[in-house]
Amino acid sequence: MTRTISDDAVRRLSGAIQIPTLSMLNYADTDFSAFDTFLQFLQDAFPLLHATLEREQVNTYGLVYIWRGTRPEREPILLMAHYDVVPAEDLAGEWKYPPFSGTVAEGRVWGRGTLDIKSQLIAHMEAVETLIRAGFTPERDIYFAYGHDEEISSGTNGATIIAALFKQRGLRFAGILDEGGLVVTGAIKGVRSPVALIGVSEKGHCNYEITVRGSGGHSSMPPKKTALGQAAELVTRIERHPLPARLTPTVLTMLQRVSVEMGGLTRFALQNTWLLGGLVKSLLANSAETNAMLRTTCAPTMARASDAENVLPQTATVNINVRLLAGDTIDSVAAHFRKLAGDMPVEIRPLSRTEASPVSPSSGEFYEQIEKLTQKWFPDAIVVPYLVMGGTDSRKYADSSDHIYRFTPIQVTNEEKNAIHNRDESISIENYAGMVHFFEALLESF
Residue from 116, 141, 150, 393 carrying the catalytic annotation: 150
Tell me how far the alpha carbon of residue 402 is from its chain's centroid: 18
Q: Are 356 and 202 in contact (CB under 8 A)?
A: yes
Min separation Cβ 112 and Zn ion, Å: 11
Closer CB to Zn ion, residue 116 or residue 416?
A: 116
Min separation Cβ 222 and Zn ion, Å: 48
Closer CB to Zn ion, residue 140 or residue 203?
A: 203
Closer CB to Zn ion, residue 231 or residue 412?
A: 412
**Which residues in the 106-125 window bind Zn ion by CB under 5 A?**
116-117
Min separation Cβ 179 and Zn ion, Å: 5
Q: SS3 of 61, please?
A: coil
Closer CB to Zn ion, residue 150 or residue 440?
A: 150
Helix then strand then coil, % of the chain, to nearest 5: 40, 25, 40
416-421-427-433 Cα dihedral, nearest 10 degrees: 120
Residue from 84, 116, 126, 151 carrying the catalytic annotation: 84
DSSP codes, 202-246:
E-EEEEEEEEEE----BTTS--SS-HHHHHHHHHHHHHHSPPPP-
Closer CB to Zn ion, residue 118 or residue 336?
A: 118
289 is catalytic: no
Pairwise CA distance, residues 421 & 433, whole Å:
22
**How many residues sit in the footprint of Zn ion (CB under 5 A)?**
2
Name, in order, each residue with C-beta under 8 angstroms of 446's C-beta and a sequence gap of 6 or more. 69, 77, 138, 139, 140, 142
**Which residues in the 250-289 window bind Zn ion by CB under 5 A?**
none
Min separation Cβ 152 and Zn ion, Å: 11
Pairwise CA distance, residues 38 & 105, whole Å:
23
Q: Are 3 and 430 in contact (CB under 8 A)?
A: yes
Q: Are 431 and 409 in contact (CB under 8 A)?
A: no
- Helix 227-240 vs helix 330-341: crossing angle, to nearest 10: 120
Closer CB to Zn ion, residue 61 or residue 208?
A: 61
116 is catalytic: no
Min separation Cβ 82 and Zn ion, Å: 6
**Which residues in the 319-348 window bind Zn ion by CB under 5 A?**
none
Pairwise CA distance, residues 87 & 259, whole Å:
39
Min separation Cβ 405 and Zn ion, Å: 15
Catalytic residue positions, numbered: 84, 150
Footprint of Zn ion on this chain (CB under 5 A)? Answer: 116-117
